[in-house]
A and B are shown apart, each in its own frame.
Chain A
Amino acid sequence: MQTYDLEANGLRGLNETLHAQSETTNQTAWEVVNPKGSHAIAVGLDAPIEVTVKGSTGYYCAGMNQQATIRVEGSAGPGVAENMMSGTVIIDGDASQYAGATGHGGLLVIKGNASSRCGISMKGIDIVVHGNIGHMSAFMAQAGNLVVCGDAGDALGDSLYEARLFVRGSVKSLGADCIEKEMRPEHFEILKDLLDRADADAKPEEFKRYGSARQLYNFDVDNAAAY
């Protein structure tokens, strides 16, 4: 286990050190102490290493992640795991707005609640939130799965493309062109796998699925009010 004191040694040194790890590094386990809400912790990693952040983080933690497993033992500020490509990011506490935004791949697990705009414009990432999510989540979401074990806020899935949204609790309101859809066998399988991987105590049968009604893909004057 390698330990990095962020307060003593600075952010740039941390990210340079983590970027220097190759696919075959022997230093596979890292611990970051004294994060104190700093921005851009463990950003742009591209190696199969495990990084544990011992406390809460500020903006853009674990952004652009590839391959790495990053765990935050606290809460995360805005934009956690933004544009993640692969790997796993686990937040033990809450996540602020636009968690997992534009993510292309990998798994983001939020054990607490996520606030507004969770999974906005997601492009293939899987996001599992153990708690609730805020308004405008999965806005313009294109691909991937957003799983919410609690409730969803206003305007869920507004202007949605082909991402799948699974919500166990209530949905305050659906956004434009987002509708409830049937749960087919393949959806139970996807959901079961994600819940297992995210260590979430929930059953696939308890969820409803939401997706795009595909009415806004092409301009139609009858839909002018919905754009």
Chain B
Amino acid sequence: MCGIVGLFLKDKALEPQLGALLTDMLITMTDRGPDSAGIAIYSDFSEGTGKLTIQSDDPESDFPGLDSQLSEALNAEVSIRVIDTHAVVETAHEKTAQARSVLTALRPGLRVMSAGESIEIFKEVGLPKNVADRFEVTKMSGSHGIGHTRMATESAVTTEGAHPFSTGPDQCLVHNGSLSNHNSLRRKLVREGVQIESLNDTEVGAAYLTWKMQNGASLGEALTSSLEDLDGFFTFVVGTKDGFGVVRDPIACKPAVMAETDQYVAFGSEYRALVNLPGIEDAKVWEPEPATVYFWNH
């Protein structure tokens, strides 16, 4: 069991409240996944700036001075915003790939949670409320976001086992269920040159979608082919820089509820997660069909 929440805003006026709304939804899903929690937020971005979200088990020694060292190595401006165990590194977009390798060379213990122009991922072990408090998610704004509460099945309860997973620029995936062919698929993707960090099944699902999109598929096409190539139980919610998608496996035993109004599209593992959204009483509420791809774009 795990809990998923997602919110894709159509109404810009709600953007300052995105973090607060998602936090409330996430905490409601605590009893579906009390061991870890995470959130991916798609926030404002400026053209030409790239973002990396990094995580350290020892932030007190890893983060201080990192900005100047990184700036020197890249010969570019770098800003770092530290939030608890995570930090968001911003630099010129064309420098982000280089920044990623420099960062791991400078601080071998660092993990890169996400890379892109808009995405920021924050995830840790602990109760969803504690995780949301640590990262002050209620204060975050953005155009769309996805959250996950984890009850681990396929891999250890660790920060890197928590969701969301990001395996491509501005892409992320959260998952409720378990994949049974993740080991063989991981070997295949690694042979194709895809970088996979953990032994977690969901990361393989995310890497699969990234690989498909690198080879020319749209997100919708990648999700459709996942129905053929992934074996197991899944309800997936995915995010891209300007989009938000949902797909369930053909058996569809993992729960899912969606709601749509003029202001937003929302996803919850259960209706409980949606009850405090503005205007939910008059929203169109439905259960997404099995083996059907749903997708919204800005």
Contacts and interface: CB of A to CB of B under 8 A. Distances in A.
B213 interface: no
Contacts of A56: 271, 285
A114 B123 CA distance: 36
B271 A97 contact: no
A116 B271 contact: no
A182 B250 CA distance: 31
B124 interface: no
Contacts of B270: 37, 58-59, 77
Contact of A37 (B250, B275, B287): B275
B290 A58 contact: no
Contacts of A36: 272, 275
A219 B23 CA distance: 54
Interface in B243-262: 250-253, 255, 257
Contacts of B273: 37
A78 interface: yes
The CB with the most chain A CB atoms within 10 A, among B251, B271, B275, B286, is that of: B271
A134 interface: yes
Interface in B213-240: none
A96 B253 CA distance: 10
A97 B252 contact: yes
Contacts of A37: 270-275
A116 B250 CA distance: 10
A142 interface: no
Given A77-B255, A77-B270, A78-B255, A96 B287 contact: yes
Interface string A94-105: 101100000000
A135 interface: yes
A38 interface: yes
Interface in A72-110: 75, 77-78, 93-94, 96-97
B142 to A, nearest CB: 25
Interface residues of B, number: 17
A174 to B, nearest CB: 17
B170 to A, nearest CB: 32
A115 interface: yes
A40 to B, nearest CB: 12
Nearest to B276: A36
A58 B287 CA distance: 13
Contacts of A58: 270-272
Given A77-B255, A96-B255, A97-B252, A38 B272 contact: yes
A77 B285 CA distance: 12
B3 to A, nearest CB: 12
A37 B25 CA distance: 13
B272 A94 contact: no
Interface in B60-89: none
A93 B271 CA distance: 13
A97 B285 contact: no
Given A115-B252, A116-B251, 16 more contacts: A36-B272, A37-B274, A56-B271, A75-B271, A75-B285, A77-B270, A96-B255, A97-B252, A97-B253, A97-B255, A115-B287, A116-B290, A134-B289, A134-B290, A135-B250, A135-B252
21 contacts: A36-B272, A37-B270, A37-B271, A37-B272, A56-B271, A56-B285, A58-B270, A58-B271, A75-B271, A77-B270, A77-B271, A78-B255, A93-B285, A94-B287, A96-B255, A97-B253, A97-B255, A115-B252, A116-B252, A116-B253, A134-B290
| Chain A to chain B: the 5 pairs with minimum beta-carbon distance, closest first | A37-B272, A37-B271, A36-B275, A115-B287, A56-B271
Interface of A: 36-38, 56, 58-59, 75, 77-78, 93-94, 96-97, 115-116, 134-135
